Amino acid sequence: MSEQANENQNGASAPRLASIDALRGFDMFFITGGSALISGLCAALGSPGAWIAKQMNHVQWAGFAHHDTIFPLFLFLAGVSWPFSLASQQSRGRPTWKIQTKLLLRVVALFLIGLSFGGFLKFNPNFRLMSVLGFIGISWGVAATLSLYVKKSWWLFAVAAACLAGYFSLLHFCVAPGAPAGADSYSQAWNFPAYLDRSVWPNHLYVRGKFDPESFFTIPGGVALAIFGVLAGRLLSNQEGPSPGRKSLILAAGALVAAAVACALDFGLGSPSIKKLWSPTFVLYAATYSLALLALFHWIVDVLGLKRWAIVFDPVGKNSLLAYLLSMVGVAATIQKFLFSGLCGWSGKWGAAVSGLTSYLVVWAILFFFRRKKFFLKV
């Protein structure tokens, strides 16, 4: 859901933040070939079990790997983009009710697209109800709606903190009914969100009858992360606030605070980082990563003005939803196989790395063409 707005909350023109598109493209790089490239390079160099190779896969349950950051960073950046979009709409005189209506339509569109990936259009009676896009749509939609009516950033931050505190209480102190004595409330079998899933719609889960990693009942974590993104977007879009360099420092400081709280929850209170539950600890680790990268990209691209290198990621970042769809429906994979299967086979032990690289290049080339034609898929 990349937005191209260039105005701040007061309706005054604001410089385009190329860092947001570059960072979004960097994020998408890993699901459009980047992870396969890195894993393939490690395998070709004789170290398939290297630390960096392990980072290209999700953890089984508790823990945190780089691959677990892709989805949260995308949601965070959707929040970052929203204040720019909101300012643009307000500067054109669009009333709040129209903004709210458009916002809700976006949520519905994302949910329906996600529903189609879950088998709904195949008339599968056991279609998956939730999805990555559905989770993003609902979480972002709640955060964006709150930002329409909660003008003070400290109050909005308090809402995010309340979401995490309430969700922490649910996960930490509530065990699924029927659990044996001493059962871990964070375990895959006995956590409360999974119990709610099994109770309400057991046949519409990612793992039928067990759990869903994008459960509707884990959305408080997603809402909190999206709000953190909105707050970062408010900071960056405020032309009367701190200088650009100071904004980068504030974002970096926010990352340090998020890391400290996450460590306190993880090592002090025994609340583990679990992506499939969007546990508060995981959300705060993801916020640490997202804020730190946003600070870095903002400082390099917007403050120092080093923008040319960002062409590696910018076309994909500007059309991130289309990049996701190209990957999900197999269009990019089909083109890559048609054009480069021979090269991949000829490359021998480097074949997996070449496959990952060319997969990204196919997506990049398609989206570079669309950028030249000024076509951007939005909902």
Q: 188-206 burial, b if ≥16 CB within 10 A, otherwise e? A: bebbbbbbbbbeebeebbb
The C-alpha R_g of the chain, in whole angstroms, comes to 21
Tell me the C-alpha distance between 291 and 250, whole Å. 9
* 10 vs 46: which has the higher pLDDT: 46
Q: What are the E-state strand segments in 23-168?
A: none
- Phi and psi torsions of 7, nearest 5°: -135, 155
Beta bridge partners of 320: none
Tell me the C-alpha distance between 214 and 74, whole Å. 14
Q: Vertex 334, ends 330 and 335: CA angle to 5°? A: 120
> Both ends of the chain: CA-CA distance in Å?
7
pLDDT value of position 368: 97
Tell me the C-alpha distance between 364 and 371, whole Å. 10
Query: What is the distance of C-alpha 143 from the center of its chain?
Result: 14
Q: Which two tokens stand for residue 43?
A: 């395998």
The answer on pLDDT for 289 being more than 80 is yes
Count of alpha carbons within 13 angstroms of residue 268, beta-carbon side:
8
Average pLDDT over residues 46-51: 94
pLDDT value of position 38: 98
- Mutual angle of helices 132-149 and 70-91, in 10-degree steps: 40
**pLDDT category, 15, cuts 50, 70, 90?**
low
* 285 vs 91: which has the higher pLDDT: 285
Sequence spans of domains, the chain: 18-30+68-320
The answer on pLDDT for 13 being more than 50 is no
* 123 vs 9: which has the higher pLDDT: 123
Tell me the C-alpha distance between 56 and 288, whole Å. 19
CB 179 within 8 A of CB 192: no
Query: What is the distance of C-alpha 9 from the center of its chain?
Result: 24
Condensed to tens digits (0 to 9), the pLDDT of residues 166-194 reads: 999 999 999 999 999 999 999 999 999 99
The answer on pLDDT for 5 being more than 90 is no
Q: Which two tokens stand for residue 274?
A: 């679990």
The answer on pLDDT for 14 being more than 70 is no
CB 203 within 8 A of CB 209: yes
Q: Tell me the three-class secondary structure of 37-60, residue by residue.
A: HHHHHHHHCCCCCCHHHHCCCCCC
State pTM to two decimals.
Answer: 0.94
Average pLDDT over residues 221-231: 98
